[in-house]
Amino acid sequence: MNASELLKSAKVEVAPETFFLVSLAHGDWLKLLENPELSPRMSAPFMIFRDRWEVTLLLDETDFGTIRYQIRDGKTAGNYRLLSFDVELDFTVVGFLAEVARILAEAEISIVALSAFSRDHLLVKQNDLAKTLKVLGGYVAELC
């Protein structure tokens, strides 16, 4: 199947939590690691991504509240909702996320794209959630 056909078969799920993105310097990340009580609680989605410039965390509101006072020098952006495309994508699929991004860009909806091993996810601002679901509703099999 191509990207458009896969999108038509996709179920879009919206996580109930509100999320924050956090950008930390590598040294600040190492300080967080020294205190295991600041780790995500493992009952909500989270992400840790380290590149050569920063460490990026995706945390729900509860986990963000746990580390908030330990990351004074970090940059944060909040009030995001997590949308997950419940369609398994193998590595031969070309353009799935590009197609979703195109559709939402035409509706002037800003996204943060995330990919796991077999599924793609988006972050959209809470204020854009209803519009996002309305726009995607015409392209996917089901909205949850």
Domain parsing of the chain, residue ranges: 3-16+80-143, 19-78
pLDDT tens, residue by residue, 56-109? 999 999 999 888 888 888 999 999 999 999 999 989 899 999 999 999 999 999
For 116-124, what is the mean pLDDT? 95
For 44-52, what is the mean pLDDT? 92
Architecture of domain 19-78: 2-Layer Sandwich (3.30)
Q: What is the pLDDT of residue 103?
A: 97
131 versus 36: the higher-pLDDT residue is 131
Q: What is the pLDDT of residue 72?
A: 83
Q: Give the contacts of 72 (CB within 8 A, at least 6 positions apart).
A: none
Report CA torsion sign: 56, 90, 3, 131. Answer: negative
Mean pLDDT of the chain, nearest integer: 93
Q: What is the pLDDT of residue 71?
A: 86
As a dihedral over the C-alpha atoms of residue 128, residue 18, residue 76, residue 69, rounded to 10 degrees, the angle is 160
Fold category of 3-16+80-143 in CATH: VC0802-like (3.30.2130)
pTM above 0.95, yes or no: no
Confidence of residue 31 (pLDDT cuts 50, 70, 90): confident
Report CA torsion sign: 124, 126, 127, 128. Answer: positive
